[in-house]
């Protein structure tokens, strides 16, 4: 007795999903009928159907069809064994298989970095791949945080061996670090598929440092200049409509700057502040920048002492 194929290979089958069927023929080389007692599998992940029906005619054949539905990831091998009344009984076929996750996302995470509050980031994408031999039905795609918005080309399903693209944008509603989780719920055995989402919301415009303190200065004489940086975190130009001083002693402070009415996208300008105390003792003021950012005006406290 011989087989038309003594090895059947099932590579990269999605865990929990059935492979395409493969066949081998049991060939009866005898001049008398072959009585087949049993056809068995050493691994229950393999299933067989056949038309041997107990006997194979002299010089005849029958067909054994095998499928693999892996229950584990990685190597998943087995042996097909035919027991009959031939002198060479039992005969066997080697079954080689490997299993992969049936559905995967192209990456475990997406990071959006620093994004100005209330503005949308550049979009980032993940690909959802269906490795199964049947169509994948999608139930839900969520992000767990409304500041991360998704759109996709999946349209509720992914064809067998197909893929679709999920696009995420980050629009921070708060200042500081934010997180979310892209979660895809579907009919695969490894549902849900997830990816971590991270991003940080920044003020649309910001001053640094957050305060200025001048050394003791003789009343009526100007100090050296101290620099303040105005940073535009927007992806569009920031229109600067005014730079002024407030607080208890606004007249003690003056400035020069290179902002020239606007600050380019993702850029900065410098404001140089001078302290000229109008009297002795503690003096205080506030630097105020009015502009087109949603957090206008940006302010920092100023302090110095007149001598």
For the chain, give the secondary structure using H, E and C: CEECCCEEEEEEEECCCCCCCEEEEEECCCCCCEEEEEEEECCCCEEEEECCCCEECCCCEEEEEEEECCCCCEECCEEEEEEECCCCCCEEEEEEEEEECCEEECCCEEEEEEEECCCCCCCEEEEEEECCCCCEEEEEEECCCCCEEEEECCCCEECCCCEEEEEEEECCCCCEEEEEEEEEEECCCCCCEEEEEEEEEECCEEEECCCEECCCECCCCCCCCEEEEEEECCCCCEEEEEEEEECCCHHHEEEEECCCCEECCCCEEEEEEEECCCCCEEEEEEEEEEECCCCCCEEEEEEEEEC
Cis bond upstream, residue 292 (ω within 30)? no
Domains 103-202 and 205-306 share a fold: yes
Determine the pLDDT at residue 16.
Answer: 85
Cis bond upstream, residue 209 (ω within 30)? yes
Cβ-Cβ contacts under 8 Å for 168 (sequence gap 6 or more): 110, 123, 124, 125, 126, 143, 148, 149, 150, 182, 197
CATH code of domain 2-100: 2.60.40.10
Determine the pLDDT at residue 133.
Answer: 83
Determine the pLDDT at residue 150.
Answer: 97
pLDDT bin (cut points 50, 70, 90) of residue 24 is very high
Q: Could you tell me which residue, 209 or 14, shows the higher pLDDT?
A: 209
Which pLDDT tens digit goes with each residue over 149-196?
999 999 999 999 999 999 999 999 999 999 999 999 999 989 999 999
Which pLDDT tens digit goes with each residue over 263-282?
999 999 999 999 999 999 99
- pLDDT for residue 53 is more than 90: no
Determine the pLDDT at residue 228.
Answer: 98
- pLDDT for residue 213 is more than 80: yes
Sign of torsion, CA 162 185 194 73? negative
- pLDDT for residue 35 is more than 80: yes
Whole-angstrom distance, CA of residue 92 vs CA of residue 304:
93
**CATH class of the domain comprising 103-202:** mainly beta
pLDDT bin (cut points 50, 70, 90) of residue 123 is very high
Domain chopping of the chain, boundaries: 2-100, 103-202, 205-306
User: How crowded is residue 126: how many other Cβ atoms within 10 Å of its Cβ?
Assistant: 23
pLDDT bin (cut points 50, 70, 90) of residue 54 is confident
Assign a CATH topology to domain 205-306. Immunoglobulin-like (2.60.40)
Mean of the per-residue pLDDT values of the chain: 95
Determine the pLDDT at residue 189.
Answer: 87
pLDDT bin (cut points 50, 70, 90) of residue 262 is very high
- Asked whether 56 and 34 are in contact (CB, 8 A), the reply is yes
Residues 32-42, mean pLDDT to the nearest whole number: 94
pLDDT bin (cut points 50, 70, 90) of residue 132 is confident
- pLDDT for residue 1 is more than 80: no
- pLDDT for residue 260 is more than 90: no
pTM: 0.79
């Amino acid at each position: 007795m011989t087989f038309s194929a003594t090895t059947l290979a099932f590579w990269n089958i999605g865990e929990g999903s059935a492979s395409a069927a493969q066949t081998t023929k049991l060939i009866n080389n005898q001049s008398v009928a072959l009585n087949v007692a049993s056809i068995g599998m050493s691994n229950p992940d393999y299933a067989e159907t056949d038309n041997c029906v107990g006997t194979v005619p002299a010089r005849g054949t029958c067909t054994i069809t095998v499928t693999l539905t892996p229950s584990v990831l990685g190597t998943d091998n087995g042996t097909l064994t035919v027991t009959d009344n031939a002198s060479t009984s039992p005969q066997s076929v080697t079954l080689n298989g490997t299993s992969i996750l049936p559905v995967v996302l192209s990456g475990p995470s997406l990071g959006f970095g620093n994004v100005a509050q209330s503005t949308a980031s550049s979009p980032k994408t993940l690909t959802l791949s269906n490795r199964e031999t049947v169509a994948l039905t999608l139930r839900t795609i969520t992000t767990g945080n409304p500041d991360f918005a998704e759109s996709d080309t999946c349209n509720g399903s992914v064809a067998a061996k197909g893929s679709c693209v999920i696009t995420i944008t980050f629009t921070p509603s708060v200042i500081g670090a934010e997180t979310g989780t892209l979660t895809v719920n579907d009919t695969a055995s490894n549902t849900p598929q997830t990816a971590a989402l991270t991003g940080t919301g920044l003020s649309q415009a910001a001053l640094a440092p957050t305060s200025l303190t001048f050394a003791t200065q003789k009343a009526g004489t100007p100090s050296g200049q101290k620099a303040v940086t105005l940073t535009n975190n927007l992806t569009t130009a920031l229109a600067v409509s005014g730079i002024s001083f407030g607080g208890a002693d606004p007249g003690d402070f003056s400035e020069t700057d290179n902002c020239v009415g606007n600050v380019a996208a993702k850029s900065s300008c410098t404001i140089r502040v001078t302290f000229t105390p109008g009297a002795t003792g503690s003096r205080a003021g506030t630097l105020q920048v009015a502009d087109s950012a949603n957090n206008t005006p940006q302010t920092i406290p100023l302090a110095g002492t007149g001598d």
